[in-house]
Structure 1
Amino acid sequence: MKKRSHTLKKAFAAAFPYTIPIFAGFWFLGLTYGIYMNVSGFSFWYPLFMSMFIFAGSVEFLTVNMLLGAFHPLQVLAVTLMVNARHLFYGISMLDRYRAAGWKKIYLIFGMCDESFSINYTAEIPDDTDRGWFMFFVTMLNHFYWVFGATLGGICGSLIHFDTEGLDFVMTAMFVVIFLEQWMKEKRHTSAVVGIAASLLCLIFFGADNFMIPAMLAMLCVLTYLRRFLEKGEEAV
Structure 2
Amino acid sequence: MEQPGTTPPLTGAVRELATQVVSTLTSGGHSPVSAYPPVTTGDDELGLAAVRVLGADVLLPAVLHRTLPAPADLAVCEKAVLAYPPGPDASPTSLWSHRAMVRTLAALGAPAAGATLAGPEPDAAWLEDLPWQALTHQLALLAALAVPPTGTTSGDAAAPGALAPSAVADVAQRRTVDIARGFVRAVRRRGWLQAAAAGRWLAHLDGVPRTLGLDAGLEFVGLMGGDDPRVALHLHAARPVRAGAPAGPR
TM-score by length of structure 2 reads 0.22
Structure that is richer in helix per residue = 1
Is the radius of gyration larger for structure 1 or structure 2? 1
Higher normalized contact order (CA 8 Å, seq sep 6+, divided by chain length):
1
